[in-house]
Structures are given as C-alpha cells and as structure tokens.
Amino acid sequence: MTITTSRRAVLCGCFACFVAGLAKPLRAEEPKPAFALRELAKGTWLHTSWKTLPKVGHFPSNGLVVAGRDTTWLIDTAWEDEDTDLLFDAAKKATGRAPAQIVVTHAHDDRMSGLPILHAHGVHSLAHELTQQDAPKRDLTPAQESWSGRDKELDVGGRKLQMLQPGAAHTRDNVVVYLPDVSVLFGGCMIRAKAGKTLGFVGDANVAAWPATARVVQKQFGKAKIVVPGHGDPGDTTLIAHTIALAEAAKS
C-alpha cells in the first residue's frame, strides 16, 4: 500500500516528539522486535507490532485477537503492512479460523493502516462513525461499515464484545472494547501503560476532556481483570487510575 507524504507524515513526526513519554522504546540501532502474538485469557490473544519512529527508535503497538465458537475477530490492525499480513496468518493459526471481522478503535495509523491488507484477505471492518469521518483526513482507508452512538454490543461466536465511545480523550473518536467473559478491557491509546510518564501524542487530543472520559471508562469497566493499553505492557485497572492522574496533570 502506498502512503502519501502528507497528513500521515506530519503525524508521525509529531508523534515521535511525544511518544517517548508513553512507554519505553528500543533504540533504533537494536534489532527491531518481531511481530508477536500471545494468549492473555481463554480465546483472547494480545498482538504486538513495532514501528521505527524518527528520533525515538522501535516502538510497540497492541491489539487483540478474539476467538468465538465459530469465528475469529481482530481488534485493530498491526502498525505496518507486513505485520498486518503476519497478524492475519498468526490469528488463523492460533484459532484455527481465518479472521472474519476487525473492529477499529480510532483513526490513527497504528489502529487501522492495515485495513487494505485485511480487506484483501476478505476481513470485514467496523469503526465508529467519527472514525469514518476522520480517517480520510489522515490518509487512512475507512472501514467498510460504521456504528454510531455511545455503545454497542456484538456477538463473537457466543461471546459478548462490548464497545464504548466514552467521549474525547486521545482522539475525539477513541473507542474501548470489553470482553466480559474473560474480564479483558482493551483501552487503546486513551489508556496509558504503567511506564508512561506523559499522555504521549496529543496532536489530535482533547486534554481538557481526557480525565472525565477516562473516569467514564473506569466507572463502566472498573471490574476488568486485565487492561490493555494501546502501547506498552498490559496491567490491571490501576492503568486507568494512572491515566486519569496523567490527564489531570496535563490539564492543569
């Protein structure tokens, strides 16, 4: 896939300026880590890919693979095209079924740049209507279908997948995803890893709204056992409290 040197290039440059405070990168002279898939809970895998960012080094990005009784779904693409191909193959191998659906959590390249690759594999894509509006502005391919409103529950082969658009934070369209049967919350880029010392990239953020938005997530999914940030290591609900503290500090 050809990426034009425009809004996306500007975003990458801005992102590099802020991302060092989000989680610990690896220096560019070190080998770039390989795409990885590991099981977090029954039928639920964490996928992690890496991108080399200018002046930062190799930086990780997370998503999920969710297996139901007769289907496999993805939460977000890998960061780069070749890793999205690896994601498709790894998910198929781990679950025994090729991914059929992907849910995108906001309009940034670490969440959805691989959509053309997955569409070519026959994977159907779903994103919030705000993500659909913002994707073309960032040179990103929109999803094939959209949803609207604050929340939506889907069936993944007998498993519930709950999506919540809690308000603006990292972006105006950021969505979190909860799997109640295994108590796993995918917080995406609005939830910060324990290693993060700042909010990271805020070029498309609403910092003033971020603390209240994170509290909505905390109230709705405060019983989650595993919380997965968009970048960095998973943890528990203390990651939400950590995010609120960072957001309050940034706001003030």
How much is the pLDDT for 15?
43
Number of residues in the chain: 252
Q: Distance (Å, rounded) from C-alpha 211 to C-alpha 213? A: 5
Q: Give every CB contact of residue 187 below 8 A, 6+ residues apart in sequence.
A: 176, 217, 227, 228, 229, 230, 239, 240, 243
Q: Is 167 contained in some domain?
A: yes
How much is the pLDDT for 25?
62
Neighbours of 93 (CB within 10 A): 11
Q: Is 19 contained in some domain?
A: yes
The CATH code of the domain that includes 239 is 3.60.15.10
Domain, as residue range, for 151: 7-251
* Total domain count, the chain: 1
Q: Give every CB contact of residue 245 below 8 A, 6+ residues apart in sequence.
A: none
How much is the pLDDT for 32?
84
How much is the pLDDT for 24?
57
How much is the pLDDT for 27?
61
pTM over the 0.85 mark: yes
Q: Is 20 contained in some domain?
A: yes
Phi-psi region of 158 (alpha: psi -120 to 50; beta: other; left: phi over 0): left
How much is the pLDDT for 71?
98
Q: Is 98 contained in some domain?
A: yes
Q: Is 2 contained in some domain?
A: no
How much is the pLDDT for 54?
86
Label each residue of 139-151 as H, E or C: CCCCCCEEECCCE
Q: Distance (Å, rounded) from C-alpha 185 to C-alpha 123? A: 23
Helix/strand/coil percent split, the chain, to 5: 30, 25, 45
Q: Is 244 contained in some domain?
A: yes
Q: Is 1 contained in some domain?
A: no
In the predicted model, residues of the chain with pLDDT beneath 70 are: 1-29
Partner residues linked to 152 by β-bridges: 163
Q: Is 42 contained in some domain?
A: yes
